Chains A and B, each alone.
Chain A
Amino acid sequence: MAPAEDSNKRKLQVKRFVPSENPKRTYLTDETGVWAWMTTVDHKKIGIMFLVAVTFFFFLGGVLALLLRTELLTPAKTFIEADTYNQLFTLHGAIMVFFVIIPAIPSGLGNFILPMQLGAKDVAFPRLNLASFYIYITGAIFTFIALALNGLDTGWTFYTPYSSSHSGSSVIWVTMGIFILGFSSILTGTNFIATIHKLRAPGITWGKLPLNLWSIYATSVIQVLATPILAITLLLLTMERFLGIGIFDPAMGGDPVLFQHFFWFYSHPAVYIMIVPAFGIVSEVITTFSKKHIFGYWAIAFSSLAIAFIGFLVWGHHMFVSGQSPVATTVFSFLTFLVGIPTGIKVLNWVATLYKGSIDLKTPMIYIYMFLFLFSIGGFTGVMVGALSADIHLHDTYYVVAHFHYVMMGGTIIALLGGLHYWWPKITGKMYDEFKGKIAAGLIFVGFNMTFLPQFIMGSIGMPRRYYNYIDQFTIFHQTSTIGSYIIGIGFLLIAYYLAKSLYNGEQAPANPWGSRALEWQATSPPHLHNFDHIPVVINGPYDYHKPMEEFQLGLADSHGAHSKDSDKTIEMTEKEWVDYNLD
């Protein structure tokens, strides 16, 4: 090395900060009380409020699903009327999509974890973050008003002209609710993009960004770009219904297929808003529980961005039988297959990560195993319905219902459960019951497959979706499916029970129970109000399991830390690194 370069080296004084195992002050002990929570700008508390709200809606949507499945036990009426049934499946879909799956990982878990993985004190715009939550609640209130009035019976897709001119339900209240809800999504996305760009701790270059954050970054970009389309579409629908301006209803000179284009232009990218954050959780959990460096870091990071980009170009694959132009149909089919490639790359990279690892099948890892299996089935059946001639037969049957449940539930919800168990000790400071955790995971796995595998078969035989009555030949499939859904229900109740119980008498969680190298695990459990007492300095990647734990516990030596040890260390770096590390 030339001496001239040597003189350019700058020295950074760092210290080792070992997280206290028994923190006296945490974000849960500071700023307590209902009012403090309601007005908090702490990303952790806001994340928890989102998680509580999402859990409430998940319970609601889940009960609706069980009612639906119960009605379908017999071919004709079992216990509710057709109109009620139509309301139930509409609300199940709308609630699960807009109120659960879209916000659950980014706004809930993501809010809690993102600044911690960046070594930041909070998100870039803490007040905006709180606003996101209240906007979400406002959207929810509008939806409840609709429920109290005439409900909603249009399907979560709001297809015109049924929704604009024929339905007698409270369409406008719901579209306005979702319109408002969209702003929550947009603001959270904007906030996260700004935070990832501007608030990374010294040393976190783009190449050291945890893959969870690459996923959230890709998701945020889609949220910011796609959500306004949904907003304007629902606004147009509202104008048609309320003011009689003909946009989609042919009776008023509109075009109903135009609505489908607008709707899916948002709602297909929204599918990636729902699944891409789950990819982030998988990368975090799979490395921690195999103590292994992630395989193909850049392949996984860039495939998230590729999915986010291509995801904008495939909306027409929901419309192969809609009467859209044949040329468009052909192009959409081709592009749809392209989006499958980066998804497949991810799965294979995760599997390769396990090779020669040290695999510990704790509950979070079990969920990730379930994810890889179920999501793969969701992916393959996605290829099936992307193939033009096959889709003509399968479109709008239970095959499609099973396909998207394998992706949305087998993918997103299962990964969310994995993430929830993984970060539970960090969030609450308590350990959950490992044994009950595995039992519940097993119940959900069995119940899930029992519910949705028969749906592939009956859909393929010809059972259309959104049917209140069905012809006798489908009875056995529907009954198996219904029993499966009850098993899923029991699994979720068990999870709710042992997680709630752990809050009261769970074992005290260590700061880093899984031996993870990720930055959030170098804070106390639960973390301090401002996450870290010191400014963390990151010299290794988040998956460098071949390096000793000490190297992951460094912070700026002149920051105030109560738990620092006398292991002063000096990092030498060039001027360029100094700038890259954000040190001035």
Chain B
Amino acid sequence: MDRIIGGLFDFMLPELKSPLTGASSDEIMAFIHIVSFIILGGVTFALIYFAVKYRRKSEDDVTPLITHHNQLEIAWSVIPLLLVIIVFAWGYKGWLNLNTAPDNAYEIQVTGFKWGWTFRYDTGAQMPNEVHVPAGRPVKLVMKSEDVIHSFFVPDYRIKMDVLPNRFTTVWFQAEEAGESQVFCTEYCGTSHSNMLAKVVVHEPEDFQRWLSEQGSGGGGTPVERGENLISLQGCATCHSTDGSTLIGPSFQGLWGSERTFENAEPTIADENYIRESILDPGAKIVQGFQNQMASFEGRLSDDDITDIIEYLKTLE
């Protein structure tokens, strides 16, 4: 039934290619459209009907004194209130889903810059302005910007998220069939904002694996290898062990995804943004039982370096 009614408004939407992220959005849009058309139709009918029925016959027309009607006021406050509560709850449910990538999602690193996109894979392969993904599997994009704010928008998947220069943001989708979808930048970013386009290319899973191996490692190894290399080159290992033993700082082992408690902040889960902050502003959150001894790596590690280190830390379970 939902699909039939929703179908009335299909001309307003691109074909839905990621039902897991977009179906709920399409349904709520159809619902709001239908309710709005009914109410707007009623209001418009009343306006026209009154204009005809009660048109002025003479300048001396006398109108009845009707000042208010409490039941009516209550009715047209409460009924819309109930309707918007439905819409809120429905929108919230869909949005929660849009914000929660499945655990088995395939991760791709995305960098936005003036004016283009780079997509990096766990093999080290890099692609400009084209992101290749496997069909039938959730894909999670971990995004950052090199300069100003951009926004990653795929109408076919009903997903959009701003891409920021000082933190990681994520989106996910699951394309069900092989094919292509358009990506737009939707946060104004200067001269060539409207040329900051990309494509999602969806392959059947086996084709995707073949494509990925054809790309090689982009030189310099995979992100995990580069991350491991950086850990030793930058001297991180002097204070942070990788085997669970406590040195000057907390161990890297088991860090990723664990709940951290701090001397000076609320507890948080160790995610991309936490690690990024700990590298660039170590004093912001000091792990319980440790002291603020570390210097900032601001300017010494690039955003890509940090991403690689994060990829490496993820492997230290």
Is B59 in the interface zone, CB < 8 Å from A? Answer: yes
What chain B residues lie within 8 Å of A383 (beta carbons)? 32, 36, 84, 87
A321 to B159, CA, bound (A): 10
Name the residue on B nearest A335 (C-beta): B88
- Closest Cβ of chain B to A318, distance in Å, is 12
What chain A residues lie within 8 Å of B77 (beta carbons)? 341, 345
A52 to B189, CA, bound (A): 35
Determine, out of A23-31, A132-140, A370-378, A421-429, the stretch whose residues face the partner at the interface. Answer: A370-378
A334's partner among B25, B88, B197 (CB-CB below 8 A) is B88
Is A358 in the interface zone, CB < 8 Å from B? Answer: yes
Residue-by-residue, is B23-63 near A (CB-CB < 8 Å gives 1, otherwise 0)? 01100110011001001100110110011001111010111
Is A460 in the interface zone, CB < 8 Å from B? Answer: yes
Q: Decide: A393 and B56 in contact? CB cutoff 8 A.
A: no
Q: Decide: A393 and B160 in contact? CB cutoff 8 A.
A: yes
- Closest Cβ of chain A to B115, distance in Å, is 10
Is A215 in the interface zone, CB < 8 Å from B? Answer: no
Name the residue on A nearest B68 (C-beta): A296
- Chain B interface bracket (under 10, 10 to 19, 20 to 34, 35 or more): 35 or more
Name the residue on B nearest A391 (C-beta): B91
Q: Among residues 164 to 198 in chain B, which have CB atoms less than 8 Å away from a CB atom of chain A?
A: 164-167, 169, 182, 184-195, 197
A294 to B149, CA, bound (A): 48
Residue-by-residue, is B136-172 near A (CB-CB < 8 Å gives 1, otherwise 0)? 0000000000011101010110111110111101000
B25's partner among A290, A359, A390, A397 (CB-CB below 8 A) is A390
Is B13 in the interface zone, CB < 8 Å from A? Answer: yes
Is A439 in the interface zone, CB < 8 Å from B? Answer: no
Is A322 in the interface zone, CB < 8 Å from B? Answer: yes
Q: Decide: B190 and A389 in contact? CB cutoff 8 A.
A: no
A556 to B115, CA, bound (A): 72
What chain B residues lie within 8 Å of A161 (beta carbons)? 147-149, 165
Q: Decide: A387 and B28 in contact? CB cutoff 8 A.
A: yes
Q: Decide: B162 and A376 in contact? CB cutoff 8 A.
A: no
Q: Decide: A153 and B158 in contact? CB cutoff 8 A.
A: no
Max count, chain A CB within 10 A of own CB: residue among B32, B95, B147, B192: B95
Q: Decide: A388 and B59 in contact? CB cutoff 8 A.
A: no
Name the residue on B nearest A460 (C-beta): B12
Name the residue on B nearest A291 (C-beta): B63
Is B73 in the interface zone, CB < 8 Å from A? Answer: yes
Q: Decide: B91 and A390 in contact? CB cutoff 8 A.
A: yes
Q: Decide: A466 and B182 in contact? CB cutoff 8 A.
A: no
B188's partner among A159, A255, A338, A393 (CB-CB below 8 A) is A159
With contacts A250-B165, A344-B80, A396-B160 known, is A372 near B43, CB below 8 A? yes
Name the residue on A nearest B84 (C-beta): A337
B191's partner among A82, A295, A471 (CB-CB below 8 A) is A82
- Closest Cβ of chain B to A163, distance in Å, is 9
Q: Decide: B186 and A162 in contact? CB cutoff 8 A.
A: no
What chain A residues lie within 8 Å of B191 (beta carbons)? 82-83, 86
- Closest Cβ of chain B to A512, distance in Å, is 11
Is B66 in the interface zone, CB < 8 Å from A? Answer: yes
Q: Which residues of B contact A (CB under 8 A)?
A: 11-14, 22, 24-25, 28-29, 32-33, 36, 39-40, 43-44, 46-47, 50-51, 54-57, 59, 61-69, 72-73, 76-77, 80-81, 84-85, 87-88, 90-95, 97-99, 114, 147-149, 151, 153, 155-156, 158-162, 164-167, 169, 182, 184-195, 197
Q: Which residues of A contact B (CB under 8 A)?
A: 82-83, 86, 153-155, 159, 161-162, 166-167, 250-251, 255-257, 290-299, 320-323, 326, 329-330, 333-334, 337-338, 340-341, 344-345, 347-349, 351-352, 354-361, 369, 372-373, 376-377, 380-381, 383-384, 386-393, 395-397, 456-457, 460-462, 464-471, 515, 544-546
Sampled A-B contacts (16; CB under 8 Å): A166-B148, A291-B61, A299-B73, A320-B95, A359-B51, A381-B36, A386-B91, A389-B94, A389-B97, A392-B95, A392-B98, A393-B25, A461-B12, A462-B155, A468-B193, A546-B64
Beyond contacts A347-B43, A356-B54: 13 other A-B pairs, Cβ-Cβ < 8 A, are A155-B188, A161-B165, A162-B188, A255-B166, A299-B68, A358-B61, A359-B51, A372-B47, A390-B32, A393-B160, A395-B186, A462-B155, A546-B63
